[in-house]
């Protein structure tokens, strides 16, 4: 599907109706995309390797292949009018010829090239003037220039590609620890950055369509345990200044990228109310799952609308606030998990999303969203954390 070079000149009313969209990846994000697509009368075809992958149950059909199989993506392109991404484990060089022949990727390959490599992402955000931690490239332990990463330890060591849920990220408190991490990872080229003593972690879900219109969801507070998101609360209880900084970062990034799609921007908030960019995900994101129940247009509907050429949906909250808690795999058996899910569903305002994945410790098996009404803004965070403790006591035990 080809579009005009200048998005401001597109007459969306004259565009042919998009009936089928592809998704590279078949995990829970694609599963939620497929549900959103169906609500808009659009079919989603997924490229995924396994019949047990979550999206298979909701997709209109499947191309059975690994997500980095560009030949399979070319086959997918023959069956749909635009292609979105569920994850970043793709081969951009192999996808470029497909894009060159006019296949519409959301986001475009040009945008992904600036973001998928963590070091190149840091360089790009710095170059467009966004606030970032100090960082440097390390290809041998001797490359570690402490002046470039804040002047001391600890530092954060990051794999340049394919890190997620805490994998590919480690904190080092000395040069010896940096060298040990580098050895353990097989001596790759890595990014090393300044450790930020943040007070809170925030996330912004932002969307931009082909016309250049931008919509930003309410700021979300995320809380991590073992570098995996455990819970998210929206709207984040932050000052007007912090909210403005977050929105400015999102608009600056999406405009500079000439982005098309949904992007998640993870942020650090410091004690003096400064906001710094942590990482950028060019896709729907775990921190935005609560938008399904809590927003007029969820992040999943939003990406489908963008890929289909429909106007952006309303990202504002339809309630006073919301909490999302991830359900990670434990050592419990299926019978126990079924009973726990029934208990979670009985919590007032709760919706349980179960991905249908095989259980193993630490794996994201589902999430619970709880919406709140009649709660004053200043009380929302405490209320949400109290309900989170209730959910986690049911799922993880005391």
- Domains of the chain, by residue range, sit at 7-113, 134-194, 200-396
Q: Write down the pTM of the prediction.
A: 0.92
Do 73 and 45 form a contact (C-beta atoms < 8 A)? no
Q: Where are the alpha helices (DSSP H) in 210-333?
A: 240-257, 291-294, 299-308
What single-letter DSSP state applies at residue 167? B
For residue 5, the model assigns a pLDDT of 36
| CATH 3.40.50.720 holds for 200-396 | no
**Ranges of the chain whose pLDDT falls below 50:** 1-13
The reply to whether 7-113 and 200-396 are identical in fold is no
SS3 317: strand
Task: Convert the pLDDT of each residue in 295-305 to its tens digit.
Answer: 999 999 999 99
pLDDT for the residue numbered 11:
46
How high is the pLDDT of residue 162?
75
Q: What pLDDT is attached to residue 97? A: 96
pLDDT digits (tens, 9 = 90+) for 122-170: 999 999 999 999 999 999 877 876 656 766 889 999 999 876 666 789 9
Q: Does domain 134-194 have CATH number 3.20.20.70?
A: no
Architecture per CATH, domain 7-113, reads as 3-Layer(aba) Sandwich (3.40)
pLDDT of residue 332: 82
pLDDT of residue 175: 87
Give the bridge partners for 223, in sequence order: 231
- Return the number of other C-beta atoms located less than 10 Å from residue 226's C-beta: 9
Q: How far is CA 238 from the centre of its chain?
A: 21
Q: Give the Å distances, CA to CA, from 194 to 169, 172, 182, 305, 373.
A: 13, 10, 17, 38, 40
Which pairs with CB-CB distance under 8 Å and at least 24 residues apart come from 178-182? Answer: 178/138, 178/141, 178/144, 179/141, 181/157, 182/138, 182/141, 182/157
Instruction: Return the pLDDT at 164.
Output: 65
3-state secondary structure of 350: strand
Share of the chain above pLDDT 90, in %: 84
């Amino acid at each position: 599907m080809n579009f005009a070079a200048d998005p401001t000149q597109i007459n969306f009313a004259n565009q042919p109706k998009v009936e089928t969209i592809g998704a590279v990846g078949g995990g829970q994000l694609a599963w939620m995309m497929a549900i959103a697509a169906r609500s808009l009368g659009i079919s989603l075809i997924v490229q995924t390797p396994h019949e047990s992958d979550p999206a298979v149950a909701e997709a209109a059909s499947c191309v059975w292949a690994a997500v980095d199989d560009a030949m399979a993506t070319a086959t997918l392109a023959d069956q749909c009018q635009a292609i979105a991404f569920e994850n970043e484990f793709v081969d951009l060089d192999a996808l470029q010829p497909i894009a060159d022949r006019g296949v519409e990727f959301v986001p475009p390959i040009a945008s992904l090239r600036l973001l998928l490599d963590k070091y190149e992402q840091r360089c790009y955000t710095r170059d467009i003037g966004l606030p970032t931690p100090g960082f440097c490239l390390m290809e041998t332990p001797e490359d570690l220039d402490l002046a470039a990463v804040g002047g001391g330890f600890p530092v954060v060591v990051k794999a340049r590609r394919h890190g997620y849920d805490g994998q590919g990220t480690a904190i080092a408190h000395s040069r010896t620890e940096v060298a040990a991490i580098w050895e353990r990872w097989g001596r790759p080229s890595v990014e090393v950055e300044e450790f930020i003593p943040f007070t809170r972690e925030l996330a912004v879900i932002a969307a931009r369509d082909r016309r250049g219109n931008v919509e930003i969801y309410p700021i979300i507070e995320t809380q991590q345990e073992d570098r995996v998101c455990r819970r998210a609360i929206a709207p984040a209880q932050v000052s007007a200044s912090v909210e403005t900084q977050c929105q400015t970062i999102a608009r600056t990034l999406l405009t500079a990228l000439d982005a098309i799609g949904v992007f998640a921007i993870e942020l650090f908030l410091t004690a003096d109310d400064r906001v710094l960019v942590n990482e950028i995900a060019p896709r729907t994101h775990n921190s935005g799952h609560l938008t399904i129940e809590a927003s007029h247009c969820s992040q999943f509907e939003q990406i489908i609308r963008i890929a289909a050429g429909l106007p952006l949906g309303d990202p504002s909250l339809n309630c006073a606030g919301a909490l999302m808690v991830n359900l990670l795999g434990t050592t419990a058996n299926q019978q126990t998990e079924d009973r726990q899910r029934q208990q979670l569903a009985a919590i007032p305002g709760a919706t349980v999303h179960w991905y249908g994945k095989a259980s193993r410790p630490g794996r994201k098996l589902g999430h619970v969203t709880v919406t709140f009404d009649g709660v004053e803004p200043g009380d929302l965070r405490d209320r949400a954390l109290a309900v989170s403790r209730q959910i986690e006591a049911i799922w993880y035990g005391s």
